[in-house]
Amino acid sequence: MASKTQVKVVGFRWLSSRPGSGCEQCARWHEKEFYFQPQAGQLSTAEMPTPPLHPNCRCHTEPITATTVEFESQDGKPGFIEGGDKAGGGYWKNNGRGLLDGPVYQKWCGKYWSAGRDTRDSSAKGAADPSPADDLDAACSGHDDCYELFDADYCDRELINNLQSLSDDPRMWRNPPDSVEDATDYRRLAIWLFKLRVWGRQFRNFVYPGLYQPSK
Amino acid sequence: MRKNLDVFFGLAAWLVGLLAVMAAFWPFWKFRFTWMEWVAPSLWTLCAVLMFVVSNRRPIKLWWVWPSFPLAFILWVSFAVLFLGGY
């Protein structure tokens, strides 16, 4: 079974040059760890001082890394995708989903699909590393976050703008995808799908004013 | 040949539909999405219109071309199915 190993920096560890006999200013930080996304009880990188703290200071930081291994099935499917058929760049009817749930792409693109799992299934594990796989996946992740804070219509329009701002050639993206064909197809499919949703709301509001009310 | 020109247009419509279905499921060429998006629907419509225009038969005899409609419009039929399903 093929696998994809990803190593990423999750924070920094402060190391004093002379932990036992150095100055107090540096010694207090020795072996303290700072994280980009701190859990309870952990320090944030925003609180980390930047060496050198004083002249002749030889303290330094070293990165803290986390390794995730994402297994792929023999046909190249990501490990969190079970079953399903690929069409239009995405997988349909995977992970127990129905045809009407639509296609999913990577970890975040698709209805009720977040971090590689169906959110309606509380026992589903999802992707080992929930961070977006590429720029298209990141746009979908941002769309999910937007729904937490803003109105659905606003978020759908933002997603359309974000998708349209991506280059037509996925190889030019800042974070390019593994499959250029799948990313190209799914991006265009998603743009059309959300345009039709936005137009549908506009039409329904035109026919029956006040039918659609912003939820936030 | 002129007598059966309508049949050829009907077969051409079917071919367009089958190619659209192949484009949906197999990434065999670069412009497959464009094909599904507007090329196949336009070509199918053209073939269907030409078929009825040149035909000397009763339209009911050309019923067999209609099942190719959802194939040629597979992208739009998929969207309609999703929206009807509450997407």
Q: Where are the domains of chain B?
A: 5-84
What's residue A170's pLDDT? 93
| Placement of tokens 């792409």 in the chain | A105
Burial degree of A84 (CB within 10 A; 0-12, 13-18, 19+): middle
Taking any CB pair shorter than 8 Å as contact, residues of chain B touching chain A are: 24-25, 27, 32-33, 37, 75, 78-79, 81-83, 85-87
Distance CA A81, CA A94 (A): 6
- Whether B11 has a pLDDT exceeding 60, the answer reads yes
Whether the per-residue pLDDT at B22 is higher than 80: the answer is yes
Q: Is the pLDDT of residue A213 over 70?
A: no
Q: ipTM of this model?
A: 0.77
Q: What are phi and psi of A170, to 5 degrees?
A: -60, -20
Asked if residues A91 and A21 have their Cβ atoms less than 8 Å apart, the reply is: no
CA separation for the pair B79, A117 (Å, rounded): 23
Interface mutation target, options A156, A188, A194, chain B, most CBs of B under 10 Å: A188
Q: What is the pLDDT of residue A73?
A: 61
| Alpha-carbon gap: B8 to the closest alpha carbon of chain A (Å) | 30
Q: Which residues of B touch A182 (CB under 8 A)?
A: 27
Higher pLDDT residue, A134 or A209?
A: A134
Give φ, ψ of B9 to 5 degrees. -65, -35
| Mean pLDDT, range A24-45, rounded to an integer | 85
The more confidently predicted of residues A214 and A18 is A18
Q: Using pLDDT thresholds of 50, 70 and 90, give the confidence band for residue A47.
A: confident
Residue A72: exposed, middle, or buried by beta-carbon count in 10 A (0-12, 13-18, 19+)? middle
Q: Once rounded to an integer, what is the mean pLDDT over residues A48-67? A: 85
Confidence category of residue A129, pLDDT binned at 50, 70, 90: confident
DSSP states of A142-171 as a string?
HHHHHHHHS-HHHHHHHHHHHHHHS-SSGG
Q: How confident is the model at residue A156 (pLDDT cuts 50, 70, 90)?
A: very high
Assess contact for A167 and A137: CB atoms under 8 A: no
State residue A21's pLDDT score: 64
pLDDT for the residue A19: 67
- Note whether A137 contacts B: Cβ–Cβ < 8 A: no
Whole-number mean pLDDT of chain A? 86
Residues B4-32 have a mean pLDDT of 88
pLDDT at position A51 over 70 = yes
Pairwise CA distance, residues B36 & B23, whole Å: 7
* Alpha carbon distance, N-terminus to C-terminus of chain A: 46
Read off the tokens for A128. Answer: 């080992």
Tracing tokens 């703290």 back to the chain, one arrives at A53
Q: Residue A86's closest CA among A56, A50, A110, A117?
A: A110
Residue A3 has pLDDT above 80, yes or no: no
Cβ distance of B87 and A85 shorter than 8 Å: no
- Most A CBs within 10 A among B21, B26, B38, B79, hence the mutation to make, goes to B79
Beta carbons of A102 and B87 less than 8 angstroms apart? yes
Query: How large is the average pLDDT for residues B51-56?
Result: 90
Q: Give the mean pLDDT of A198-206.
A: 88
Q: What is the mean pLDDT of residues A149-156?
A: 92
